[in-house]
Amino acid sequence: MGAGKRIWVAAAVGLVCAVTVLGGAGSAFAAPAPTPTPTPTPSVTLPPNKDLEAVRKRLEKLYHDAAVATDAYNAAEEETERQSTEIVELAREIVKGQERLAELKDRAGAAARSQYRSGGLPPEARLWLSDDPQAWLEGVSRVRQGQKATTGLLAEMTRTQQDLEQYAQDASAQWTKLEASRKAKAAAQKTVKQQIAAAEKLESELEKEEKERLAELEREAAYKAQTSWLSSGILDDIDGTATAQGKKAVEFATAQIGKPYVWGAEGPDSFDCSGMTQAAWAAAGISIPRTSQQQWAQLPRVDIEDMRPGDLIVYFDDASHIAMYVGDGAMVHAPRPGRTVTIAGAGSMPILGVVRPN
């Protein structure tokens, strides 16, 4: 959050406190979302006899859990940014409302002082004391106009006061939600770091030869899954042609090959999986949600057989990973910590489904 926004958010809090007399705005108007319970640091003890296949599966689980926590972090970060923006806007509205209310009070005060200077008699009474018929008729018109203006002034003051009360309530509610989002973000951040640290510790306990064999096992598992997927004849049915925007998205995504995976990163120098797909489609002129789970939930779904380059492939039952299909049974993705953006087989992981940004 920039310095300017922080100043406005701080101002909003002060303004909320300042206008509590308008409607008890200091109380919460929205229940905070439940804060996720931080995951304890996972055990990283190597299996008996260093069974490398068990190590591979253990690492896969740790990095999967880190991906789930990364999605939670990204979602909380997005909510924090949105709520901060709303608080800033509410602060501006409160400032404008206070200025307008002060102006209306000044006008009402001027009218009261004018009546006091005229002896405190209401305009109707002064008219009845007039001996000039023409002046009396003209005065009646002015009195009616004045009464109408006074009524309008009082109504506008009431509306402005009510608006200020509502702004104060909304700001208080948004502040409560913001605090809940910040706690969720911090909890998710802690979980991500715990999972990655556990995975790194597990890998650090392997000898050089074991690491090489582990990498080979990972390649074998991916190859087996891809071969199984292709043997189903799926490519015989996939013949979609990329749209102009899809081509732009693919060009952007493939241009990122070699850049490191960093959880929570949206580019330009590093990415996480959904940060890369979001940036790729932004380069094609289309805005999509931030997280893999949001992209799965909010974007239109298509059958795998109808997949075309640029479509997004969502993996695992919890939609914790996402990649971009580039054609010929391949996809480009940001895999996990310690890896870089790369091309891989589209069927090398369990596919949940496919979504289409355009």
Secondary structure (DSSP) of 100-156: HHHHHHHHHHHHHHHHHHTTS--HHHHHHT---HHHHHHHHHHHHHHHHHHHHHHHH
pLDDT score of 36 more than 70: no
Cis peptide before 337 (omega within 30 of 0): no
Q: Check if 273 is active-site.
A: yes
Q: What is the mean pLDDT of residues 323-342?
A: 96
Q: Residue 345: beta bridge partners? A: 330
pLDDT at 226 over 60: yes
Choose, from 321, 322, 336, 347, the residue flagged as catalytic.
Answer: 321
| Ranges 52-56, 97-101, 242-246: which has the least confidence | 97-101
184 versus 342: the higher-pLDDT residue is 342
Strand order in the sheet with 312-315: 301-302, 351-355, 312-315, 321-327, 330-333, 342-345
Please state, in angstroms and as integers, the Cα–Cα distance from residue 72 to each residue in 95, 103, 189, following that order. Answer: 35, 46, 9
Identified catalytic residue from 58, 177, 185, 333: 333
Mean pLDDT of 108-133: 55
Environment class of residue 204 by beta-carbon count within 10 Å: exposed (0-12), middle (13-18) or buried (19+)? exposed
Task: Give dist(CA 36, CA 187) in Å, integer.
Answer: 6
Look at the block and give the residue holding tokens 């923006």. Answer: 85
Catalytic residue among 66, 273, 280, 331: 273
Report, as an integer, the average pLDDT of 8-29: 41
pLDDT over 60 at 17, yes or no: no
The mean pLDDT of 217-231, rounded to a whole number, is 94
Please report the pLDDT score of residue 162 as a whole number.
83
Confidence at 21, pLDDT banded by 50, 70, 90: very low
333 classed as catalytic: yes
CA angle 333, 337, 342 (to 5 degrees): 25
Bigger pLDDT: 159 vs 8: 159
Residue 220 pLDDT grade (very low, low, confident, very high; cuts 50, 70, 90): very high
